Structure 1
Amino acid sequence: MRTLFIALTALVLGSCASSKKGAAAEADLYGKEWKLMELNGKQVNTTAERLPTIKFEKEGARVSGFAGCNRMMGTFTINAEKLIFSPLAATKMACMDDNVETEYLAALSGVNTFSVDAGMLQLQAGDTVLAKFK
């Protein structure tokens, strides 16, 4: 019984340790192109030809990615547990297909914190998850 208790305690503590928020998760942002999986609580079409993405570059605190039709770019600031994007710029290609670009860019403008848990990036407004990436 004691061995089972110790094993369960280790499992719970280990799973809690994998969730990182704010500045503690900052290093996990870099060197990846994150692909959007969920936006405003709704699953995105993962069979789409190109999923919206986001990429963080430590040098220059730059952010860039694909918004669904256009490329987007800007800068960001991480301070304690806060993540704030500058107003993001985007190319201006005309988009004929239904895409999530407008909703995606609006969600990014509302982000003020983030976490990384089990290889998933969550961008949040307070406790509300706006976007999840893998």
Structure 2
Amino acid sequence: MKKKVVVPAYVLALFAVLLLAGCAGSPAGSSPGGDIAAMPLTNTYWQLLSVAGEPVPETDREQKAHILFLDDGRVSGFSGCNQYMGNYRVQGENLLFDSMSSTRRACPDNQTEQLLFAALAKTVGVNLDGIELRLLGEAGEELAVFEASRMK
């Protein structure tokens, strides 16, 4: 005759807690490789890596071209020459900029600024993948790529 094993309820509860704790170690927004969780769109400093398929040239400026999305629907940033600001709206995977303006500092030969402002005007979509943010055009083409950095 086989002996019936009775597992106390507290052992089952402990097992359930350990199982859930193990699941909590892998964030829901992690990339397919499981290494990097997607950064939130808002309150993250997004440094510009490339625009219109061209890498952003290195500068000796202390401040790099970037964008910052705030929780209240405002957006601001630096183009490499001028500060810019406006509003944004996210609906699903759609990202739209509105009421954009910038300071008017003269910056000869600043191609990055012109390309960035054109990219913002054409943006209709967004793709967040780990620490990269991609602004997408109407046909899904990549307009600009940013990399997340923690704000100091």
Indicate whether the TM-score tops 0.5.
yes
Runs of 4+ in 1 over 3 A off after TM superposition: 16-20, 96-99
Cα pair distance change 1:100/1:48, threshold 3 Å: farther
Partner of residue 108, structure 1: 120
Deviation at 1:102, TM superposition (A): 1.2
| Larger Rg computed on CA atoms | 2
Quote the Cα distance in structure 1 between the aligned partners of 2:66 and 2:78. 5
User: What percentage of aligned pairs have identical amino acids?
Assistant: 31
Cα pair distance change 1:117/1:38, threshold 3 Å: same
Deviation at 1:119, TM superposition (A): 0.5
Normalized per residue, the structure richer in helix is 1
Deviation at 1:77, TM superposition (A): 0.8
Normalized per residue, the structure richer in strand is 1
Q: Unaligned 5+ residue runs, structure 1? A: 1-12
| Superimposed CA distance per residue, residues 82-131 of structure 1 (whole angstroms, 9 cap, x where no aligned partner) | 10000310011111353411111011100001011120010111410100
Quote the Cα distance in structure 2 between the aligned partners of 1:14 and 1:88. 32
CA RMSD of aligned residues (A): 2.5
Report the 3-state secondary structure (helix = DSSP H, G, I; strand = E; otherwise coil) of the residue aligned with 1:86.
strand
Deviation at 1:62, TM superposition (A): 0.2
Cα pair distance change 1:90/1:77, threshold 3 Å: same
Aligned residues: 116
Tell me if the contact between 1:122 and 1:133 (Cα under 8 Å) persists in the aligned partners. yes
Partner of residue 141, structure 2: 128
Q: Unaligned 5+ residue runs, structure 2? A: 1-29, 148-152
| Superimposed CA distance per residue, residues 1-56 of structure 1 (whole angstroms, 9 cap, x where no aligned partner) | xxxxxxxxxxxx96178899xxxx7x711121111001111111134423211000
Quote the Cα distance in structure 2 between the aligned partners of 1:69 and 1:122. 21
Tell me if the contact between 2:81 and 2:110 (Cα under 8 Å) persists in the aligned partners. no
